[in-house]
């Protein structure tokens, strides 16, 4: 969306005392992203540029976490109120002429659609200030909206309100759009002569009116969108709302969620149509899943690309891996970072892989560890195979070429290179390279001692 002359300021300096946390409130996560990122993205989605965040508590960490967002930061040393907070950005936005969206870092659920509606409303009415409001059956704690028709007279804070004003249920969400430079002029004349001794941003409403400007209000349709997060109970409530929203988007895109109430998909995960996700699946980070996949209960998947028609069986854990099409994983497989399956693979129960590049159609069906390995196509890895990749000092590589058959209970003591189409006899400990087309065996030859049990038994009966 393009929106000329629109800037955004996100207030995030408050201590967030009720979170009882060492971290800034805006760093607490919702569906895998720090809370403060949601208003940044909503502002960007309606075309706001620049975007400036006012920070105060825990500023170093806040800057670090949002450093990739291409936003500006302004430090508010002492939190003297919302009006003072906005005044702090005058230095960086003082030269900006246009409309300024004011958002709160702790109101993460506001949608770009509602923001666009606020901008549109403000601009068509040529207002100097437009306040986003909401109807709260229980308005306690909020600033009340004193209206006359479409226009707003003033906003009165709970602590400064009389009995009649306290009965008003239309309240201030703390989200506004202001014309600049007017708003900075008004902020310079603010006083902190009120019940809380703070510089109230809300006082700019009456000041703008007194100077003959129009102040409008538009109310948000969904109350859930303007939930402010003050403690961890509200954090969990917001997470539930957001999770539901994410899950509904996937379902509308053609993904089956067997029980969306217990399916945990982080913001930004992509899933193709006709994929089926069973309960208690967790999809994290930059995970991308193709079409026609099945993800069974309890799978936990981080930052992984999964191609089409892949079947992830129950309780598998997959991290930073790539899984080619038509593969089957699990149950209870652990694919650790750097696993690449080229396609049509089978990785069965109790198989662990790490930095393993596994060719087309190759299989490891049971009880195996494949680390620091390059495995070709059509390789069969027998049950209980272990790549001994670590010698206590460094990690070493195992290379297994195409069409190798590895018998059960084999150890590869890396570095070791197995030529194509060779066969490793079950129970072997392979310490040297194997040429192509060979049979490699390394186990003590079997010895049979005939009649041994019978002689033993006879000895025992004689001893009695």
Q: Which residues are catalytic?
A: 366
Q: How far apart are CA 42 and CA 24, in angstroms?
A: 20
Q: How far apart are CA 120 and CA 137, in angstroms?
A: 27
CA 125 vs CA 2, 148, 163, 205, 216: distances in Å? 19, 15, 32, 16, 8
Q: 13 or 182, CB closer to ligand UD1? A: 13
Q: 172 or 247, CB closer to ligand UD1? A: 172
Q: 84 or 278, CB closer to ligand UD1? A: 84
The residue number whose beta carbon is nearest to Ca ion equals 228
Contact 30, 235 (CB under 8 A): yes
Which among ligand UD1, Ca ion, none contacts residue 85 (Cβ within 5 to 8 A by kind)?
Answer: ligand UD1
Closest distance to ligand UD1 from the beta carbon of 248 (Å): 26
Closest distance to Ca ion from the beta carbon of 139 (Å): 13
Binding-site size for Ca ion (CB under 5 A) equals 1
Closest distance to ligand UD1 from the beta carbon of 186 (Å): 14
Q: 89 or 128, CB closer to ligand UD1? A: 89
Close Cβ partners of 360 (under 8 Å, ≥ 6 residues apart): 324, 342, 343, 344, 345, 377, 378
Q: 126 or 196, CB closer to Ca ion? A: 196
State both tokens at 209.
């009116």
Which among Ca ion, ligand UD1, none contacts residue 156 (Cβ within 5 to 8 A by kind)?
Answer: none
Give the SS3 label for residue 21. Answer: coil
Which among ligand UD1, Ca ion, none contacts residue 300 (Cβ within 5 to 8 A by kind)?
Answer: none
The interface region with Ca ion, picked from 214-222, 226-234, 259-267, 385-393 by CB under 5 A, is 226-234
Alpha-carbon 49 to chain mean position:
24
Q: Regarding beta strands 151-156 and 144-148, do their DSSP bridges make them parallel or antiparallel, or are they unpaired?
A: antiparallel
Close Cβ partners of 122 (under 8 Å, ≥ 6 residues apart): 99, 130, 177, 216, 218
In our burial notation (b when 16+ CB lie closer than 10 A, e otherwise), range 182-205 reads bbbebbeebeeebeeebbbbbbbb
Q: How far apart are CA 152 and CA 205, in angstroms?
A: 8
Closest distance to Ca ion from the beta carbon of 362 (Å): 57
| Residues contributing to the site for ligand UD1 (CB under 6 A) | 11-14, 54, 76, 79-82, 84-85, 104-106, 142-143, 155, 157, 171-174, 200-202, 228
Which among ligand UD1, Ca ion, none contacts residue 348 (Cβ within 5 to 8 A by kind)?
Answer: none
CB count within 10 Å of CB 99 equals: 23
Closest distance to ligand UD1 from the beta carbon of 71 (Å): 15
The interface region with Ca ion, picked from 212-220, 228-236, 334-342, 379-387 by CB under 5 A, is 228-236
The partner residues of 341 in beta bridges, in order of sequence, read: 323, 358
State both tokens at 184.
């900075």
Q: 79 or 219, CB closer to ligand UD1? A: 79
Closest distance to ligand UD1 from the beta carbon of 209 (Å): 16
Residues of this chain that interact with Ca ion (CB under 5 A) are 228
């Amino acid at each position: 969306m393009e929106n000329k002359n629109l800037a955004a300021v996100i207030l995030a300096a408050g201590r967030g005392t009720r979170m009882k946390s060492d971290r800034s409130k805006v760093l607490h996560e919702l569906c895998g992203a720090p809370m403060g990122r949601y208003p940044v993205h909503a502002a960007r989605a309606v075309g706001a540029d620049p975007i400036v965040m006012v920070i105060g508590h825990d500023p170093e960490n806040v800057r670090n976490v949002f450093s990739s967002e291409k936003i500006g930061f302004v430090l508010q040393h002492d939190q003297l109120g919302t009006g003072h907070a906005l005044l702090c950005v005058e230095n960086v936005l003082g030269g900006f002429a246009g409309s300024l969206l004011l958002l709160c870092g702790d109101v993460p659920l506001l949608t770009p659609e509602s923001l666009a509606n606020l901008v549109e409303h403000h601009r068509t009415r040529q207002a100097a200030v437009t306040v986003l409001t909401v109807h709260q059956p229980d308005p306690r704690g909020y600033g009340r909206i004193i209206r006359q028709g479409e226009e707003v007279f003033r906003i009165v804070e709970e602590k400064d309100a009389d009995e009649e004003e306290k009965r008003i249920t239309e309240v201030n969400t703390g989200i506004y759009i202001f014309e600049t430079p007017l708003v900075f002029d008004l902020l310079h004349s603010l006083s902190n002569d009120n019940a809380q001794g703070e510089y109230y941003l809300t006082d700019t409403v009456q000041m703008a009116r007194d100077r003959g400007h129009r102040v409008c209000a538009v109310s948000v349709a969904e109350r859930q969108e303007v939930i402010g997060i003050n403690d961890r109970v509200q954090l969990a409530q917001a997470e539930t709302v957001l999770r539901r929203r994410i899950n509904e988007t996937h379902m509308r895109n053609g993904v089956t969620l067997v029980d969306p109430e217990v399916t945990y998909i982080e913001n930004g995960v992509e899933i193709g149509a006709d994929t089926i996700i069973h309960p208690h699946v967790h999809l994290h980070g930059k995970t991308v899943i193709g079409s026609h996949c099945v993800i069974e209960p309890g799978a936990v998947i981080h930052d992984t690309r999964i191609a089409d028609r892949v079947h992830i069986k129950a309780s598998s854990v997959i991290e930073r891996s790539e899984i080619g099409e038509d593969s089957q994983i699990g149950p209870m497989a652990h694919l650790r970072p750097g696993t690449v399956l080229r396609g049509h693979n089978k990785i069965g129960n109790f198989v662990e892989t790490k930095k393993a590049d596994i060719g087309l159609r190759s299989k490891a069906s049971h009880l195996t560890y494949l680390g620091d390995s390059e495995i070709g196509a059509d390789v069969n890895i027998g049950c209980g195979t272990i790549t001994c990749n670590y010698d206590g000092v460094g990690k070493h590589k195992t290379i297994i070429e195409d069409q190798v058959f590895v018998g059960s209970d084999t150890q590869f003591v890396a570095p070791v290179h197995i030529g194509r189409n060779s066969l490793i006899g079950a129970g072997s400990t392979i310490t040297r390279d194997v040429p192509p087309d060979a049979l490699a065996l390394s186990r003590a030859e079997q010895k049979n001692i005939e009649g041994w049990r019978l002689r033993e038994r006879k000895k025992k009966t004689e001893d009695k």
